Amino acid sequence: MANLDIEQTRNQARALLDSRIESVTSLVKTRQRITDLKEQLAEAERDDKRAYVRATRDGWSSEELKKLGLEPAAAGRRRKAAVRSASMDAANTTTPPHADAIAGHATAN
* Sequence ranges of the domains in the chain: 13-92
Report whether 46 contacts 75 (CB < 8 A): no
Length of the chain (residues): 109
**pTM (predicted TM-score):** 0.54
Q: What is the pLDDT of residue 47?
A: 97
pLDDT digits (tens, 9 = 90+) for 53-82: 999 999 999 999 999 999 998 645 455 555
Nearest Cα neighbor of 28 from 20, 17, 14 is: 20
Q: What is the pLDDT of residue 73?
A: 82
Average pLDDT, the chain: 81
